[in-house]
Amino acid sequence: MSRLPVVSGAVAVRVSATADWFVGRQKGRHVILTKPHRKANLSIPLHRELDPGTLRGLIRDSGMTVAEFVALLQTL
């Protein structure tokens, strides 16, 4: 199991964008990401640091593993 990195909400949005998620809209401090052919959306808060549970839930909801997220993070 990969160690969960500490990232901001903006970095999480950029990593998700490289995984074919698109910024649909923004409402307040939350960016809503959509993906074609998926019913679920991701709502990423634009905090300075995301809580580990929040980040892990976002990674799980996006269909990635922590290792895949870390690999995409390193390509930025």
Q: Which two tokens stand for residue 21?
A: 């998620």
Domains and CATH numbers, the chain: 9-75 (3.30.920.30)
CB 9 within 8 A of CB 45: yes
Which of 23, 32, 18 has the alpha carbon at shortest distance from 74?
18
- 0.85 surpassed by pTM: yes
What are the pLDDT tens digits along the chain (76 aa)?
668 999 999 999 999 999 999 999 999 999 999 998 888 899 999 999 999 999 999 999 999 999 999 999 998 8
Q: Give CA–CA dist 71/66, Å, rounded.
A: 9
